[in-house]
Each structure stands twice: as structure tokens, then as C-alpha cells.
Amino acid sequence: MMCIIPGPRRTANDLEVDVPKREKSKRLQVVISEEQDSLLTKTAYHLSNPERLVSKSEVVRLGIAMLNRAVEDGQLDPELLQALDDH
């Protein structure tokens, strides 16, 4: 009879696997007007094509990136800031 002495117990955390790390994300909930929702929908529609549908969330992420770039480059349109006061 053969006796097998068990080694240390291994768990899934012990395995070395090259799994790409998921980018950390934050969830943001905002209240928008019907007009703003309509603009998001229209923009998503215009950016989409038959091979690639663009979601309203993607439009928001794109808008954040574009706004940040304009601020960093000093090219923010003053009328955009006025729109903050209007809403």
C-alpha cells in the first residue's frame, strides 16, 4: 500500500495567472433634464454605426475627456461656463 502525504493546501489565490487587471471605476449618478438626455441620445446615435453602437455612457466619458483636454490646453469656450449658470 502506498501512503501519500499531502502537501500544503493550494487555493486559487496561489496560482499565478496572467489575467489583465480590471480598470477601477467609479459610479456617478446625476440628474439631467429631458433636453440633456435627448442630446446624449442624439450624440450617441450620430457617433454609432452598424458595426459599433455607442452608448450614452460612452458619450459622457468622451465628453469628460474632451472637456478636460480643453481646460488643460486653456481652450475652454467661455460660453460653456455660462451654460452652467443657465441650468
- Which residues are paired to 52 by β-bridges? 49
Q: What is the pLDDT of residues 50-65, one digit of tens each?
A: 999 999 999 999 999 9
Q: What is the pLDDT of residues 10-46, one digit of tens each?
A: 555 555 556 566 778 889 899 999 999 999 999 999 9
- In the chain, where the domains are located: 53-87
Residue 69 CB neighbour total at 10 angstroms: 11
Q: 27: closest CA among 54, 53, 55, 57?
A: 57
Secondary structure of residue 68 in the 3-state scheme: helix
Q: 84: closest CA among 67, 59, 72?
A: 67
Whether residue 49 has pLDDT greater than 80: yes
Q: Which residue has the higher pLDDT, 69 or 13?
A: 69
